[in-house]
Amino acid sequence: MRNPLADVPVPILDDLIDDDYVRSLVVGVVGTLGALGLLGVAFPDSIAGDLAGIVFSTGTAASTARLAAPIVLAGLGGIFAEKSGVINIGLEGLLIISAFASVYIASVIGSGNALLGVPAIWVGFLAGIVASTLLAGVFAVVCIEFKADQIIAGLAVWLIALGLAPFMSTVFFGGVNTPNLGASVGWRYSAAMVVVATAASWWTLNRTAFGKHLRASGENPKALDTVGVSVSRVRYAGVLISGVLSGVGGSALALSIGQFVGSGETMVQGKGFIAIVAYLFGNYNPLGTLGAGVLFAGLDATQIRLQQLGYAIPDTLVQTIPYVVVIVVLALVGRTRIPAAAGDHYETEE
């Protein structure tokens, strides 16, 4: 008897065309940066010179790392959920809830104190992860157990967090913005977490049995069921991992400033949606997601520095670039392909 798992299409890195796509992405980014560097060295007094000065400065690197952490981490989480067959459009909500929970718990303990020897800020960090994972768990139950429409349930996760975080902030602190903790997590931690999470995700997805199950659950759940692996269990794992990773991202975002801002779209400001963009742009590849996330965050960081230097570029227009890029990529390149069974319920036949 043939192993049904052999029929599972193995995407991305093993697939030559998709590999080309990711490679051209990397070459494009590196090439642009290289050209910018050369131009900057050749004409130090031009815009190119200023741009090169900004792009290759440590200040920009630091703010890029800070801005990229939530995007890349939530994006990695999105890969796990979607690979398993559950489209998690609620990443934004997971980021919001973890950003708030991390600051709240850290301020309850008191930023100078420690709990069981762990500094308050890191307890807060863990609390953010727990909050995000819990919300992802609710989402998983709703989608897998109660067969809810994944898109609608994902929107609900976003809307609940969008209401709940400012609500709780007002209950505890008397306003939608929390007071500043006076302590923060340095950008080097954010950068390290991003790199570790990306490497670990790549390894898990491509080199472990769990990664194989995850892919099968999204591409051909029937085959997975046939070899005796529970599809629901794999999907629960996928969604919960997206909760954990988004939690790390949300905590890193809030604690890198030491405050939760809950007005308007909250401090997350659509980073969860950019995360979806990042992993689609990176074609479900953790390395591609890292590249896309860093690219988007770098654009934003560069733009902030350009404003400070007095170039009157409307910042909103620069922030629009990622969204337009994704539409163009989806329309023209068309390389990103969602897992075949993503969005569908799977019912075990017993």
Binding site for another protein (CB under 8 A): 89, 142, 146-153, 155-164, 166-168, 170-172, 176, 219-223, 270, 273, 276-277, 280, 314, 316-317, 319-320, 323-324, 326-327, 330-332, 334, 336-338, 340-341, 343-347
Q: How far is the CB of 342 from another protein (least distance, A)?
A: 8
Between 271 and 305, CB nearer to another protein: 271
Query: CB under 8 Å to 128, separation ≥6 — which residues?
Result: 98, 99, 101, 102, 105, 247, 248, 250, 251, 254, 255
Q: Counting beta carbons within 10 angstroms of the beta carbon of residue 270, is it exposed (0 to 12), middle (13 to 18) or buried (19 or more)?
A: middle
Query: CB under 8 Å to 36, separation ≥6 — which residues?
Result: 48, 51, 52, 55
For residue 157, what are the β-bridge partners?
A: none
Q: How far is the CB of 330 from another protein (least distance, A)?
A: 4
Q: How far is the CB of 215 from another protein (least distance, A)?
A: 13
Q: How far is the CB of 79 from another protein (least distance, A)?
A: 15
Total residues found in the chain within this entry = 350
Which runs of consecutive H residues, i.e. helices, occur in the chain? 16-42, 47-55, 58-83, 91-109, 120-140, 150-173, 187-207, 209-219, 221-226, 231-255, 271-281, 286-308, 315-328
Rg (the chain; Cα; Å): 21
Q: How far is the CB of 344 from another protein (least distance, A)?
A: 4
Amino acid at 49: G
Between 64 and 225, CB nearer to another protein: 225
Between 165 and 301, CB nearer to another protein: 165
CA-to-CA distance for 133 and 248, rounded, in angstroms? 10
CA-to-CA distance for 121 and 106, rounded, in angstroms? 5
Between 184 and 230, CB nearer to another protein: 230
Between 153 and 194, CB nearer to another protein: 153
Q: How far is the CB of 95 from another protein (least distance, A)?
A: 15
Q: How far is the CB of 140 from another protein (least distance, A)?
A: 12
CA-to-CA distance for 211 and 86, rounded, in angstroms? 15
Half-sphere exposure of 23 (CA within 13 A, CB side): 8
Between 19 and 344, CB nearer to another protein: 344
Amino acid at 287: L
* Residues 252 and 197: beta-carbon distance below 8 Å: no
Between 166 and 291, CB nearer to another protein: 166
Between 20 and 31, CB nearer to another protein: 20
Q: How far is the CB of 291 from another protein (least distance, A)?
A: 19
Half-sphere exposure of 325 (CA within 13 A, CB side): 20
C-alpha distance across the termini of the chain, in Å: 21
Between 307 and 336, CB nearer to another protein: 336
Q: How far is the CB of 165 from another protein (least distance, A)?
A: 8
